[in-house]
Structure 1
Amino acid sequence: MKKLLLLLFLCPLLAMGQNQTKDEDQIKAVILKTFSAMKSVDSVALKSCFTSNAMLHISQVKPEGNTLREVPAAKFIQNVMTRKPGDMDERVLSWGPILIDQEIATAWVPYEFYLNGKFSHKGVDVFLLVKTGNEYRIKTLLYNMHQ
């Protein structure tokens, strides 16, 4: 009887853990898809990673002070399309925390960025994602750039 009660108690916890892992895998997949689409200059794939009104916020420390630029994802995608395949290569250095609550999530992702095969900068991408249907999309991308 004790084993049955323990099993009944653990089953929902195990299922919740499996859903968390599945969601984390989906979040990592959309981030990697974003980077791959940038590298291959694939506008259809890149657009599918973002919500329709997504924004990018770029923080850059300069000698004259910190600047913060805001760019609609649509404009970012247009900029990527001016490149040649392979020009832009963003690489995940490690996976930081991924936090999920129902249909919203955040992911902290240290990265390095290479432009035309040469190291350009590194920083941290902070993704804010929303789940619509069965997939996550990027609502906001905040990132910083430094050497």
Structure 2
Amino acid sequence: MKQLLILGCLFISLGLIGQSEEETEIKNTINSFFSSFHAQDSVGMTSVVSKNVVLQTIGANKQRQQVLRQENFNDLIHAITSIPDSIKFEEKLLDYSIQVDGPMANAWTPYEFWLNNTFSHCGVNSFQLFKQEGQWKIIYLIDTRRREGCANQP
């Protein structure tokens, strides 16, 4: 009986280690995306997303109504790589909440966005990822953007 209990604990701990490794791989994929984002590296950004990646954002329009906008990944790449060297930008991820079910994962990452060392806005990224041929790829990214209710709001 004692051996059965020890064996059961071993299997449970192995399951937790495997899950932790998956979460680490997912976090590394997201970190790689943002490292490339900050370096304005289009090749690096493209390497961690699916060729059919879907991008959306939720934020207020000029009338202060919340709207959902579809974005094109190539437009994002062009916008990021076109930022002049005189402008410093940084998206700081504040936390990760990752859920995995086999080859599918979701990562929820609250963030702050800084422009020239000045707080700009905050929100949450929600990543959907797919593990294909041993590699986690971002297949869907939606974010929220707001200026109110942020921890570092002036």
Once the 2 structures are TM-superposed, how far is the Cα of residue 4 of structure 1 from its aligned partner? 1.5
Query: Is 15-24 or 66-75 further displaced after alignment?
Result: 66-75
Note the 1:1-147 alignment, pairs <5 A.
2-62=1-61, 63-84=63-84, 87-95=88-96, 97-147=97-147
Corresponding residue SS for 2:8: helix
Once the 2 structures are TM-superposed, how far is the Cα of residue 123 of structure 1 from its aligned partner? 0.3
Once the 2 structures are TM-superposed, how far is the Cα of residue 26 of structure 1 from its aligned partner? 1.0
1:38 and 1:88 in contact (8 A); partners too: no
Once the 2 structures are TM-superposed, how far is the Cα of residue 133 of structure 1 from its aligned partner? 2.2
Q: Return 5+ residue gaps in structure 2 as ranges.
A: 148-154
* More strand as a share of residues: 1
1:53-74 Cα deviation digits (max 9, x unpaired): 1011110023341111111323
For the aligned residues, what is the CA RMSD?
1.6
1:96-119 Cα deviation digits (max 9, x unpaired): x21100000101100011123322
Letter in 2 for 1:91: K
Letter in 1 for 2:112: E
Corresponding residue SS for 2:35: helix
Corresponding residue SS for 1:94: coil
Provide the C-alpha distance between the structure 1 equivalents of 2:42 and 2:129, rounded to a whole number of angstroms.
19
Q: Could you tell me the TM-score, scaled by structure 2's length? A: 0.86
1:8-42 Cα deviation digits (max 9, x unpaired): 22222211111110111111111111111111111
Query: Is 46-55 or 57-66 further displaced after alignment?
Result: 57-66
1:53 and 1:72 in contact (8 A); partners too: no
Provide the C-alpha distance between the structure 1 equivalents of 2:64 and 2:3, rounded to a whole number of angstroms.
66
Percent of aligned pairs with the same amino acid: 30
Corresponding residue SS for 1:54: strand
Q: Return 5+ residue gaps in structure 1 as ranges.
A: none
May I ask how many residue pairs the two structures share in their alignment? 145
